[in-house]
Amino acid sequence: MNIKKSILTLGAAGLTLTALAAATAKLPPAATKTGVTYATDIKPIFEASCVKCHGAEKPKAKLRMDSLEAVLKGSKEGKIVKPGNSAESLLVKSVAHTTEDDEQWMPPLGNKAGIKKLTPEQIGLIRAWIDQGAK
């Protein structure tokens, strides 16, 4: 066993874990509410902050957020929700501003519609919804 190589590998794994932990730590915690559903809890948030650009008419990134089916289907790039894993869902990273690319921060910074960043409580509710299976 090459000791130098092992130390390097361990070091790299450690850095990766640290980076992952840091990104997850930046996410607001999931809400403790149980039985969270799209229809009752999530749709109103998306309607107020997302559907202007992700609705029926020319949806940005071909992503519609005006129905549960559409959100689960995702964008032209693919899925944005991993049911059961909110921390790894692009939807959550984009509203929490933890993606590397700030073009994915949603709603876009300085958007003309004047739509503001979601509150930590709203992000926590979205996390709870996804962690509970995105029903």
**Is 67 or 104 the residue whose CB approaches ligand HEC more closely?**
104
Q: Which of 111, 119, 120, 133 binds ligand HEC (CB under 6 A)?
A: 111
- What's the rounded Cα separation, in Å, for the pair 59 and 53? 6
Please give the Cα distance from 125 to 131 (Å, whole number). 10
CB 93 within 8 A of CB 123: no
Report the residue number, 3 or 100, with the smaller CB distance to ligand HEC: 100
Query: Which one, 36 or 50, has the nearer CB to ligand HEC?
Result: 50
Coil, strand, or helix at residue 76?
Answer: coil
Amino acid residing at 79: K
Distance CA 67, CA 45 (A): 12
Residues 41-100 that bind ligand HEC (CB under 6 A): 49-50, 52-54, 60-61, 63, 75, 77, 80, 90-91, 94-95
Rounded Cα distance between 25 and 23, Å, is 5
The least distance separating ligand HEC from the CB of residue 22, rounded to whole angstroms, comes to 21
Contact residues toward ligand HEC (CB under 6 A) are 49-50, 52-54, 60-61, 63, 75, 77, 80, 90-91, 94-95, 103-104, 106-108, 111, 113, 115, 118
